[in-house]
Chains A and B, each alone.
Chain A
Amino acid sequence: MKKGVMRPGHVQLRVLNLESALAHYRDLLGLIEMDRDEQGRVYLKAWTEVDKFSVVLREADQPGMDFMGFKVIDEDCLNRLTQDLLNYGCLIETIPAGELKGCGRRVRFQAPSGHFFELYADKEYTGKWGLEEINPEAWPRNLKGMRAVRFDHCLLYGDELQATYALFTEVLGFYLAEQVVDDNGTRIAQFLSLSTKAHDVAFIQHTEKGRFHHASFFLETWEDVLRAADLISMTDTSIDIGPTRHGLTHGKTIYFFDPSGNRNEVFCGGDYNYQDHKPVTWLAKDLGKAIFYHDRVLNERFLTVLT
């Protein structure tokens, strides 16, 4: 958080059908529907999140990610980072407060990978869902489905990884937590963090810009991941792979798809970092084990199925 960028705040996803997407994110993942707007977008959050929303669904004729937003510590920081982005040569767009309901002014830029990101300082503080502010109970009793704890990170596919790395580390204050390097020492995957988490956003080298691999949601325990897998079967939801463990981050995971083909992950556990930790490195020749630690082989979908 060296530059005042605090944490992932939201992701806006395009879906082919809003109602089936809502059934997926609300009833299966267990996100809470918080609001809708005149554009027809639906706002959701996971129950431990303190701000009003973290997932926005927008109906469109092509699935994928519109943008991912990061919250910064305050308005001064937002102004400073805006100037830093401009000085770095980024084109920026300012989106007025209220364009997303309950969210303050957003500063949007495109990373060299082709993805759009935005920074904001303010969002309506609604508190953890279903709990009292004082003497909160352990968890609310009326959660649905997988009972996702929080929106955790996105994995994005695009090119120009090195330039993206430079932007995220030098301007935005992320650090490299984990990486995959090829025989020439070129980084083909970079897991970037703002915190002690193994990743707040991750990028994998891909020939096309701006592709979406998955949005990930945190669960507490391995038992919760198995229960999520049960729910995926009960609802006949399209599964990708798992439950299994990643080599990278060592998180325990399952990948599946929303009804429009956007990949989701729910996971638990995983590595932590402090500032004195060196980046964890995996070799590209062992990419199968790095991604799927038990199978030790990639499924074709990991590299090809994107929105």
Chain B
Amino acid sequence: MNRAGYEIRETVSGQTFRCLPDQSVLSAMEQQGKRCVPVGCRGGGCGLCKVRVLSGTYQCHKMSCNHVPPEAAKQGLALACQLFPQTDLSIECLRRQGPGDHNNKNQQEVSS
């Protein structure tokens, strides 16, 4: 855990950001102004932020079994809002961003 937290790499966009161990991957992404995973309810309910974890170890808090059944969770599927890293992670966003979301104040990218 160099610098603050672990490095999260999203493979579809190629974007990376840092995530503290007690912070969800989605929350870290939002905080750092990245938009590589769509933000939905942030509560493990809607399934919008579904990702596949390609490498690294992690813990998940409770997620809707409608979106991540236990079998799928064992195969590395997770909702980024309930995903907490224990090492650097490589993740793949499974939902492509929809059009017409430019007006979403809560998802606007901050140029850095």
Chain A interface (Cβ within 8 Å of chain B)? Answer: 16-17, 61-64, 238-241, 257-263, 295, 297-301, 304-307
Contacts and interface: CB of A to CB of B under 8 A. Distances in A.
Of B45, B48, B98, chain A has the most CB atoms within 10 Å of the CB of: B45
B41 A238 contact: yes
Interface residues of B, number: 24
B100 A258 contact: no
Contacts of A261: 40-46, 64
7 pairs of A and B residues whose beta carbons are closest in the complex: A261-B45, A261-B41, A261-B43, A238-B42, A300-B101, A63-B45, A297-B103
Interface in B27-70: 38-46, 48, 62-66
A300 B64 contact: no
Contacts of B2: none
B38 A63 contact: no
Contacts of A64: 45, 66
13 contacts: A61-B62, A62-B64, A62-B66, A63-B43, A64-B66, A238-B41, A241-B106, A257-B42, A260-B45, A261-B44, A299-B103, A304-B98, A307-B46
A229 to B, nearest CB: 12
B105 interface: yes
Contact of A260 (B44, B97, B102, B106): B44
Contact of A307 (B39, B64, B98): B64
A261 B42 CA distance: 6
B101 A63 contact: no
Interface string B87-112: 00000000001101111111000000
Given A299-B101, A300-B101, A301-B104, A238 B64 contact: no
Tell me what chain B mostly uses at the interface: helix, strand, loop, or mixed.
Answer: loop
A262 B43 CA distance: 8
Given A304-B48, A307-B64, A258 B101 contact: no
A232 B86 CA distance: 29
Nearest to B105: A241
Interface of B: 38-46, 48, 62-66, 97-98, 100-106
B100 A300 contact: yes
B103 A63 contact: no
B67 to A, nearest CB: 8
A62 B41 CA distance: 13
Given A62-B64, A62-B66, A304-B98, A295 B103 contact: yes
B110 to A, nearest CB: 17
A259 B103 CA distance: 24
B6 to A, nearest CB: 22
Contacts of A259: 43
Contact of B43 (A62, A260, A299, A306): A260
Contacts of B102: 297
Nearest to B99: A300
Nearest to A61: B65
A299 B104 contact: yes
Contacts of B98: 300, 304
Contacts of B43: 16, 63, 238, 257-262
Contacts of A299: 101, 103-104
B65 A298 contact: no
Nearest to B67: A62
Contacts of B38: 300
A258 B46 CA distance: 12
Given A304-B98, A305-B40, 6 more contacts: A61-B62, A63-B43, A261-B43, A300-B101, A301-B39, A304-B40
A16 B41 contact: no
B22 to A, nearest CB: 14
Contacts of B45: 16, 63-64, 257, 260-262, 307
Contacts of B41: 238, 240, 257, 261-263, 305, 307
